[in-house]
Structure 1
Amino acid sequence: MTLITETSKLVTVFGGSGFIGRHTVRALARRGYRVRVAVRRPDLAGHLQPLGNVGQIQAVQANLRVRWSVDRAVEGADHVINLVGILHESGRQSFNAVQAFGARAVAEAARSVGAKMTQMSAIGADSASESDYARTKALGEEAVLSTLPDANVIRSSIVFGPEDAFFNRFAAMARFSPVLPLIGGGTTRYQPVYVVDVAEALTLTVDGKASPGTTYELGGPEVLTFRECMEHMLKVIDRRRMLVSVPWPVARLQGAILGMLPNPLLTSDQVRLLRNDNVVSDAANAEGRTLSGLGVAPESVDAILSSYLWRYRVAGQYTKTNLA
């Protein structure tokens, strides 16, 4: 058991109660860091407490749209990690407010206390993108690096793991629907990366193992089309479903309609995002700005999916499969 003292390095993690956040908090706690988790609803972050020793993990209230709460959350911190991001806008939680303005607020607060910083972004971030998600992710990167030039930016492809919103969502859909949609024919390419590997990369930046001011791109060992992702998922849950191509014009219409729901399955912005491949760039591979460059051997989709998608099989964990 790692001894935690008042002199142990303090890391503030914005968005630490989310999918990537909980795995990052666990990885930090195992390294012996004190972890301050900055979230909008600390009362809903109790699931993080068992991830560390008594008193090692503390949840505090903070909202990226409220600057004084951000300043308070980073007081005394040695390193700050910003994981906050949204997939669709809701009320005052707009892409600009959360992913652009919010990232700048965190960077300025970290600079004011002399803390180092790691910004979580996404492969495909581009200030000229038609997608508001990708555009504001890029603006957030620019805001962080202009404020703290030695900060690290971590871009990832689709992140998968026990609580993911990708494979879980389509596996749940496959339980009831005889068909699964393939937006644009399902030819868009992805490089799914395991959440534990992403958490390890984030923690390595805190350890000082990453090159300062460098942007890393994280992807798994395989490049898969959307169709291939669905085929892998269906094989794991042992279900046969028809994969139906949805033309881009139809997908845009569906996104416009579904985007009006409180928790939409698809939005117009996501359709624009889906038109572009989401894989590690050739430049990042050549320069070692990848998981391998950080010394992390990425896990494959096939090695992990069955460990959590088994619950979508007809008889759950007792279903006989031919995965071997």
Structure 2
Amino acid sequence: MAKGDVIVLGGTGFLGHRVVRKLLERGHSVAVGTRFPEKIARHSKIWGREVRPVKVDLLNDEVLSRALDGAGTVINCIGFYVETRDQTFWDVHVDAACKIADAVEASGTCKLIHISGIGASPMARSAYVRARGEGDEAVRSACANTIILRPSVLFSRSGAFFGDLDAIIRMLPIVPLFGTGGTRLQPVFVGDVAEAICEAADQTDNSGAIYELGGPDVFSYREIVTRLAARSGRRRLLLPVPFPIWWLLADLASHLPRPPVTSGQVDLMQRDNIVATSAKTFADLSIVPKSATSLDLV
């Protein structure tokens, strides 16, 4: 890898591929770390420029260290949402994340941008949210030059979050709510988060900073469902469902290849998912986030 390159881990994912595109727009030399380098060519057509594929294996310390050698900035956008027989949430979000941080720290000059999420906590009930929180602590301990970004729930113009929820509302005459639907969310546009990641990478005086990223709108879950139902012109019965039932459903669904609800989702929906008043935010990165209402999505 050329000296000073930015390498994006998880660069072909929902958030990661947008980060790569914005880095290229800023004139960065970009490499994408992946288990499947042969797939990068297809994404290069989307990005409009070639990026260097770098073979990365989170289970192989030597391959990982070689992949990160010489990088100026490492951006970890890896998201792992369903455990498999071969990998657990702890394996990816704690162990592998810490190995990445160790490799960055060993370089002596490299910066690490670690993507987590609002609500991540080592005290969480679900293994996913708990691993996210433990990973944040492990990464900060391993690498002094770490910046953590914690976005709220991500949405996009192509349908993520609002579009997915709208599809459920159009399909079901009765829409189940998490509890009473009072949990507050601060949905954030995925493109703004990608921009924030790039800005955090470019700044030189933010080592150790933690940013919480939420959009300008705060909605209750019930309000979001009500708004989307009204937009679709459909009258829907909203059914409060106690959280113990959601936990049971998540446990039963965990055995499916693509579970419709996960314990991580239930855990996060039990508490408000909004930016803390004391946190560094988009404002500290000179970014004004887009509103879901201004984009006519809700």
| TM-score normalized with structure 2 length | 0.91
What is the Cα deviation at residue 209 of structure 1?
5.6
| Map 1:91-240 → 2, pairs under 5 A | 91-113=85-107, 114-162=109-157, 165-208=160-203, 211-240=206-235
Alignment correspondent of 1:281: 276
Does residue 14 in structure 1 map to residue 5 in structure 2? Answer: no
Q: Aligned residue for 1:27?
A: 22
Alpha carbons 2:156, 2:189 under 8 Å: kept: yes
Secondary structure of residue in 2 paired with 1:282: coil
SS at match of 1:103: helix
User: Residue by residue, what CA displacement relative to the aligned partner does 1:217-237 show, whole Å, maximum 9, x if unpaired?
Assistant: 000111111112223333445
Which of 66, 72, 90 is the equivalent residue of 1:78?
72
The 3 A distance-change label for structure 1 pair 109 and 305 is farther
Whichever residue aligns with residue 150 of structure 1, its letter is: N
Larger mean Cα displacement after TM superposition, 45-54 or 143-152: 45-54
Equivalent of residue 293 in structure 1, options 284, 291, 295: 284
Structure 1 residues 221 and 212: CA distance shift in structure 2, 3 A: same
Per the normalisation by structure 1, the TM-score is: 0.84
Q: CA deviation at 1:301?
A: 1.1
Alpha-carbon separation, structure 1, partners of 2:158 and 2:258: 17
Once residues 227 and 185 of structure 1 are traced to their aligned partners in structure 2, the CA distance between those partners, rounded to angstroms, is 8
Alpha-carbon offset, residue 205 of structure 1 = 1.5
Question: What's the CA shift string for 1:283-313, capped at 9, x where partnerless?
Answer: 11xxxx100121100111112254xxxxxxx
Measured in 2, the distance between the counterparts of 1:305 and 1:209 equals 36
Separation in structure 1 between the aligned mates of residue 254 and residue 183 of structure 2, nearest angstrom: 21
Counterpart of 1:3 in structure 2 is none
Report if aligned partners of 2:129, 2:267 keep a CA contact under 8 Å in 1. Answer: no
Supply the distance in 1 between the matched residues of 2:229 and 2:3 (Cα, whole angstroms). Answer: 45
Residues 1:81 and 1:154: Cα distance change in structure 2 (over 3 Å): same
Deviation at 1:252, TM superposition (A): 1.7
Q: What is the deviation of 1:263?
A: 0.7
Residues 137-176 of structure 1 deviation map (CA, whole Å, 9 limit, x = unaligned): 1221122211221210001110111456422322222342
* Counterpart for residue 315 of structure 1: none
Q: Is the 8 A contact 1:8 1:34 kept in 2?
A: no
Q: Is the 8 A contact 1:119 1:152 kept in 2?
A: yes
Q: Work out the CA distance in 1 between the residues paired with 2:248 and 2:167.
A: 23
Distance across 1 between alignment mates of 2:70 and 2:207: 21
Contact 1:24/1:199 (8 A) holds in 2 = yes
What amino acid sits opposite 1:242 in the alignment?
Answer: L
Unaligned 5+ residue runs, structure 2? Answer: none
**Residues 1:231 and 1:47: Cα distance change in structure 2 (over 3 Å):** farther
Task: Please say if residues 110 and 145 of structure 2, whose CA atoms lie closer than 8 Å, have aligned partners that are also in contact.
Answer: no
By how many angstroms is 1:258 displaced?
1.5
Q: In the superposition, relative to structure 1, how do residues 235 and 33 fare at CA in structure 2: closer, same or farther (>3 Å)?
A: farther
> Does the CA-based 8 Å contact 2:7-2:30 persist in structure 1?
yes
Name the counterpart of 2:238.
Answer: 243
Q: Conserved in 2, the CA contact under 8 Å of 1:161 and 1:305?
A: no
C-alpha deviations, 1:192-217, integer Å up to 9, x for none? 11111100110011211662111010
d(CA) in 1 for partners of 2:234 and 2:60? 47
Secondary structure of 1:221's match? coil
Q: Provide the C-alpha distance between the structure 2 equivalents of 1:237 and 1:39, rounded to a whole number of angstroms.
A: 40
Q: Tell me the SS of whatever aligns to 1:19.
A: coil
Preserved contact between residue 124 and residue 130 of structure 2 (Cα < 8 Å):
yes
Gaps of 5+ in 1: 1-5, 307-323
Structure 1 residue 117, shift from structure 2 partner: 0.7
Instruction: Report percent identity of matched pairs.
Output: 35
When the two chains are superposed, the root-mean-square deviation of aligned CA atoms in Å is: 2.3
What is the number of residues matched between the two proteins? 297
Distance 1:228 1:250 in 2: 22
